């Protein structure tokens, strides 16, 4: 059998394999940068992103010593990924500095409005819509009209101003106290307690950093029989009355679907989206202990009731 005959026989097989070869060559490079994979909510978002994305991704966990800033910068320049998915603010700031010309998708960042954004920045907010939460507060507890919030301007100034305006439209007064250090948290709450119907404990790294302090804050609210509304299931153990939390797994899946759409050349109208899922816990036992009137019809929208 001569060479021409061999080529003629193999040519159909080559043509069948060619699309797969071309597809493999065009497989997009996607980086997943995690601020700290040891953080449970970051870990959940990372795993769900990979499961939903269902393509190979290059993972960078910034908590690992080998990934200092220089190493990340060099690798980004060498690899030139088509898209970067960032979990947490540290990961986003790295990507924004060294890969801003690429589409960057973020999640799990407190108050994303404070970060530098570009036309190629996309993401899933870490906070549920304030209007939705306020509506639920009033629906479950109709007599709650004054809500106190302690926050740091560093992390939540924009969020607070927007939320206060939304609350005003709904007939709710938001009374805020700003703090610049963790030790001001408890004294600020105590000042608010004499003039509010509920405390809204929000996600703020400057404030939520000390378990002992949190215990004291909840104890102070207990003494005044002022309910605490908050954002994370773990606060049930402290005595929070109403908890509206985002679903970290949903955030990971939502980020993956957004990334798939961008890589396919699709157009995303809303660059930063609210989380698609939430979980609501009502501590009915604590509400009754406080003598707090509640709307029985609202119980149907609650995912979990503590009795």
Q: Looking at the domain assignment, is residue 1 inside a domain?
A: no
For residue 168, the domain's CATH number is: 3.40.50.2300
- 4 within some domain: no
Dist CA 14 CA 39 (whole Å)? 48
User: DSSP states of the chain as a string?
Assistant: --HHHHHHHHHHHHHHHHHHHHHHHHPPPEEEEES-TTSHHHHHHHHHHHHHH-S--EEEETTSTT--HHHHHHHHHHH--SEEEEESHHHHHHHHHH-TTS-EEEES-TTGGGS---TTEEEE-SS--HHHHHHHHHHH-TT--EEEEEE-HHHHHHHHHHHHHHHHHTT-EEEEEE-SSGGGHHHHHHHHGGG-SEEE----TTTS--HHHHHHHHHHHHHHT--EEES-GGGGTTT-SEEEEE-HHHHHHHHHHHHHHHHTT---S-SEE--S-EEEEEEHHHHHHHT----GGGGGG-SEEE-
Helix axes 130-140, 153-169, angle to 10 degrees: 60
Instruction: Please report whether residue 111 resides in a domain.
Output: yes
**Is residue 222 one of the residues assigned to a domain?**
yes
pLDDT in tens, 237-289: 999 999 999 999 999 999 999 999 999 999 898 999 999 888 999 999 999 99
Mean pLDDT, the chain, integer: 90
User: In this model, does residue 294 exceed pLDDT 70?
Assistant: yes
One domain, residues 57 and 204: no
Residues 181 and 292 placed together within one structural domain of the fold? yes
| pLDDT tens column, 99-113 | 889 999 999 998 898
Residue indicated by tokens 């939502």: 254
Same domain, 77 and 172: no
Q: What is the pLDDT of residue 210?
A: 78
The mean pLDDT of 103-131, rounded to a whole number, is: 92
| pLDDT above 50: residue 169 | yes
- Mean pLDDT for the stretch of residues 198-226: 92
Same structural domain for residues 185 and 282? yes
User: Is residue 117, in this structure, part of any structural domain at all?
Assistant: yes
Same domain, 239 and 97: no
pLDDT at 174: 97
Predicted confidence band at 200 (pLDDT cuts at 50, 70, 90)? very high
Phi, psi of 174 (to 5 degrees): -100, 125
How many percent of the chain have pLDDT more than 90? 76
CA angle at 134 for the pair 130 and 139, rounded to the nearest 5°: 150
CA atoms within 13 A on the CB side of 16: 5
Give yes or no for residue 24 having a pLDDT over 80: no
Are residue 89 and residue 135 in the same domain, yes or no?
A: no
My answer on whether 83 and 173 are in the same domain is no
In a shared domain, residues 190 and 259: no
Number of domains in the chain: 2
Domain that holds residue 154: 130-246+278-306
Q: Please give the model's pTM, rounded to 2 decimal places.
A: 0.78
């Amino acid at each position: 059998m001569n060479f021409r005959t061999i080529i003629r026989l193999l040519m159909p097989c080559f043509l069948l394999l060619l699309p797969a070869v071309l597809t493999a060559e065009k497989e997009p490079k996607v980086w997943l940068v995690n601020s700290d994979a040891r953080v449970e909510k970051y870990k959940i978002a990372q795993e769900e992103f990979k499961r939903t994305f269902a393509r190979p991704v290059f993972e960078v966990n910034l908590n690992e010593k080998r990934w200092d800033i220089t190493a990340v910068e060099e690798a980004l320049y060498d690899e030139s990924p088509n898209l970067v998915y960032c979990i947490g603010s540290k990961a986003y700031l790295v990507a924004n500095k060294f890969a801003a010309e690429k589409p960057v998708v973020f999640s799990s960042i407190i108050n994303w409005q404070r970060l530098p954004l570009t036309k190629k920045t996309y993401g899933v907010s870490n906070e549920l819509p304030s209007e939705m939460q306020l509506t639920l507060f009033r629906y479950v507890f109709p007599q709650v009209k004054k809500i106190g919030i302690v926050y740091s301007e560093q992390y939540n100034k924009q969020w607070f101003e927007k939320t206060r305006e939304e609350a005003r439209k709904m007939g709710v007064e938001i009374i805020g106290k700003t703090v610049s250090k963790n030790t001001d948290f408890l004294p600020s709450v105590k000042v608010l307690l004499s003039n509010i119907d509920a405390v809204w404990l929000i996600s703020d790294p400057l404030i939520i950093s000390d378990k002992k302090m949190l215990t004291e804050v909840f104890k102070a609210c207990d003494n005044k029989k002022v309910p605490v509304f908050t954002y994370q299931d773990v606060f049930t153990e402290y005595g929070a009355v109403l908890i509206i939390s985002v679903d970290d797994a949903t955030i990971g899946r939502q980020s993956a679907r957004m990334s798939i759409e961008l890589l396919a050349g699709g157009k995303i109208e809303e660059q930063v989206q609210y989380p698609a899922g939430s979980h609501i816990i009502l501590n009915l036992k604590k509400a009754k202990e406080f003598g707090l009137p509640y709307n029985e019809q609202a119980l149907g929208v609650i995912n979990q009731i503590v009795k």
